[in-house]
Amino acid sequence: MNDLTCIIIGGGHAGLAALKAIKDETRGMANGRRIRFVLFDKQSGHVRKVLLFRPAVGGEEIMIPWTHWFPEGVEFVQGTVTSVDSGEKRIRYKDAQGNDARIHYDLFTTA
Ligand SMILES: Cc1cc2nc3c(=O)[nH]c(=O)nc-3n(C[C@H](O)[C@H](O)[C@H](O)COP(=O)(O)OP(=O)(O)OC[C@H]3O[C@@H](n4cnc5c(N)ncnc54)[C@H](O)[C@@H]3O)c2cc1C
């Protein structure tokens, strides 16, 4: 049987917490099918917003790579989501190169 695709849009605190909660709750399976987790964000990593002042004063890096949060079992897509078609269960987005792209989902949350 095919994997289920679970898409989380937004890798801020809310999105990361949602992804962790869904992973923990499902243990990566639903109805006997493996869940493929895909995190979408327009940034290339999680921005620690509460530290936004630091790069201004000291050049400190406040972007944390996605793999720091989920070293395995999660795919990351850098892209800007432009629409969600809940009827077709399809997300449209612009990838990091600015190309239009689509992806099918079975489970979806936005944060
Ligand atoms: C300078 C500063 C200091 C702060 N200090 C504190 C503090 O001390 N204590 C506190 O509790 N809160 C603080 N906050 C607020 C706190 O940072 C926010 O409440 C929190 O980050 C919100 O998290 P979120 O996940 O809801 O949203 P966000 O952090 O905004 O995350 C949304 C994510 O979605 C992505 N995204 C958005 N649209 C799209 C799209 N169309 N396609 C793909 N990706 C998309 C964004 O790139 C982002 O990564 C501060 C905020 C700032 C700016």
Please state the domain extents for the chain: 4-110
User: What amino acid is encoded at 74 in this protein?
Assistant: V
The answer to whether 61 and 48 are in contact (CB under 8 A) is: no
CATH number of 4-110: 3.50.50.60
Residues lining ligand 1, judged by CB closer than 6 Å? 9-15, 40-43, 49-50, 52, 80-81, 111
Whether the pTM exceeds 0.95: the reply is: no
CA of 53 to the centre of ligand 1 (A): 14
pLDDT in single tens digits along all 111 residues of the chain: 799 999 999 999 999 999 999 999 999 999 999 999 999 999 999 998 887 777 777 777 889 999 998 888 999 999 999 999 999 999 999 999 999 999 999 999 999
Phi, psi of 58 (to 5 degrees): -135, 5
Q: Could you give the C-alpha distances from 65 to 10, 11, 70, 84, 99, in angstroms and in order?
A: 14, 11, 10, 26, 23
